[in-house]
Amino acid sequence: MSARVSTIKDAKSRAIRWIDRNASAILQTNDCLFSFGEPSMEEYESAAFLVALLKDAGFQVETGISGFPTAFVATWSNGGAPVVALHAEYDGTPGGSQKSGSVTHDPIVPGAPGHAEGHQANSTVMVASALAAKSTMETLGIPGTLKLFGAPGEELVLTRPYFVRDGYFDDVEIAFHNHIRDAFYTEVGQTQISLISAEFTFHGETTHAGLTPWLGRDALDAVILMDNGMAQHREHIRPEMRAHRVITEGGTQPNVITEKAAVWWYFRGLSAGDTRDLFERATEIAEGAAKMTRTSLSVDVKSAVWPTRCNRTLAALLDRNMHEIGMPVWTEEEDAFARRLQQSAGVRVEGLRKELSKMRGPDQPEMSSNDCGDISWKVPMGRLWFPGSVPNVHFHHWSAGAMLTTSIAHKAILAGTKVLAGSILECLCDEALRADIRTSFAEEIGETVYQPMIPLGGQPSLRPHQALMERFRPLMREHYRTDRPIFENAF
């Protein structure tokens, strides 16, 4: 056995022992984050919790990166290169409040936000795998740097393109993302599609809608005409393209001609170019709506993300480590809970998955988007999906929050942490592996030149859930956990 292989095996073994020893603190981290349940761009409690934890562990933490108050980057170095980045989200969803462990719709606070996808588990795995790798690096003298990115607002597909734009990934060699799912797998190739998030605001002139409507210029009419124009344009877009919207401002009362109205659109396409084309066509339609109503138009691009792609060498690495760790072994009680939940949610009843899933890709990507896409074109990225959810339940539905602090999620979090920590350590210890990652990434990217789609200057002002949290945070705070995990470094 070569010294390199021996070091890798020893490093991974030590990391697993560290995770087992600190399992209680890792799961406590998840459960505390779950209790906060803050929606996108309101993750103040969650970010403060993670920042304090990482500072206690010896990381240097910069908060508010790229102008986002609930974003951070935490850095720890044991001697410079290679630099391995981990990034994860921790936002909940509006109306997602749900008591974990209940198989019926049972909100913690009725109507409040909460975790209905499991992003608190994503950030738990990110932090725990980094702490396990850090402890092992210190013990064995493994050189390298760990950078952890707290990425708020994933549900708004928002922050990570700004991190890339602002240079936070310029020194990164390899990046990892992890996400909860109902299966244990990794993926290769393009896995998600591109997106542009933009709000179209029309400005008119108010008057009395009954007495002098001919003097007004109705901004809401412009929103409706744009909507009608987009409805007609759908006939001419490619099948894999998507366009969906919500009216964010529509007037005050019926007898007042609307002076200001706004509509927020998501545009999606397989490539960055396709998405730009769809956005530009929508802008032309909006301009036509403004002309028909004699209103003025302003367009605010909030975010724009490239498709997500996963590097083949990192996918093989994650898959190998996943097979070394294996699928969690579920008890009869856990499987029975999953079946009761599936029945209650009105989905197919089949219990929990018992086997590891095959690597996915590089076939047709999912018609979803993630703001980590820009990272995956800047540096080689691997993504791990770990099995902490229940098959067939849907994200953003109450049922997706029903297992997030149960033993189902707990077992998956520990398994995902071991896979990710092992993969990080292999990258740090094996220069030949890193060379293969660089080569495969160059081949995959080809002649594509990455350029951010977001505006090169400026900063989005986006807090759509501020009023929601002003209403619900006092009620939610009564359920916040105030205990804090304590991690041990000894193996």
**Which class for 231: exposed (0-12), middle (13-18), buried (19 or more C-beta within 10 A)?**
exposed
- pLDDT exceeding 90 applies to what percent of the chain? 93
Question: Which tens digits make up the pLDDT trace of 5-58?
Answer: 678 999 999 999 999 999 999 999 999 999 999 999 999 999 999 999 999 999
Residue with tokens 């790798």: 133
Nearest to 323 by CA among 384, 389, 403: 384
| Predicted confidence (pLDDT) at residue 2 exceeds the cutoff of 60 | no
Rounded CA gap, 407 and 409, in Å? 5
Question: Is this structure's pTM higher than 0.75?
Answer: yes
Enter the tokens of residue 471: 């209403």
Extended strands (E) in 317-470: 381-386
Rounded CA gap, 34 and 30, in Å? 6
Residue 373, pLDDT score: 96
| Predicted confidence (pLDDT) at residue 473 exceeds the cutoff of 70 | yes
| Predicted confidence (pLDDT) at residue 130 exceeds the cutoff of 90 | yes
Residue 453, pLDDT score: 92
Residue 490, pLDDT score: 55
Task: Report residue 263: phi and psi, to 5°.
Answer: -135, 135
Of the pLDDT bands very low, low, confident and very high (cuts 50, 70, 90), residue 1 is very low
Question: Which tens digits make up the pLDDT trace of 240-256?
Answer: 999 999 999 999 999 99
| Predicted confidence (pLDDT) at residue 457 exceeds the cutoff of 90 | no
| Predicted confidence (pLDDT) at residue 458 exceeds the cutoff of 90 | no
Domains of the chain from N-terminus onward: 3-191+307-477 (3.40.630.10), 194-305 (3.30.70.360)
Residue 132, pLDDT score: 98
| Predicted confidence (pLDDT) at residue 491 exceeds the cutoff of 60 | no
Residue 459, pLDDT score: 76
Question: Which tens digits make up the pLDDT trace of 367-415?
Answer: 999 999 999 999 999 999 999 999 999 999 999 999 999 999 999 999 9
Of the pLDDT bands very low, low, confident and very high (cuts 50, 70, 90), residue 346 is very high
Question: Which tens digits make up the pLDDT trace of 178-218?
Answer: 999 999 999 999 999 999 999 999 999 999 999 999 999 99
Residue 5, pLDDT score: 64
How much is the mean pLDDT over the chain? 96
Mean pLDDT in residue range 304-321:
97
Residue 431, pLDDT score: 96
Mean pLDDT in residue range 225-232:
97
* Degrees to nearest 5, angle at CA 366 with 198 and 193: 40
Mean pLDDT in residue range 88-106:
98
Q: 3-state DSSP call for residue 60?
A: strand
Residue 364, pLDDT score: 77
Q: Going by DSSP bridges, is the β-strand pair 145-150/83-88 parallel, antiparallel, or unpaired?
A: parallel
Residue 456, pLDDT score: 80
Enter the tokens of residue 394: 């849907």
Residue 489, pLDDT score: 76
DSSP line for 241-294: -EEEEEEEE--S-TTB--SEEEEEEEEEESSHHHHHHHHHHHHHHHHHHHHHHT
Nearest to 311 by CA among 434, 467, 221: 434
Mean pLDDT in residue range 442-466:
88
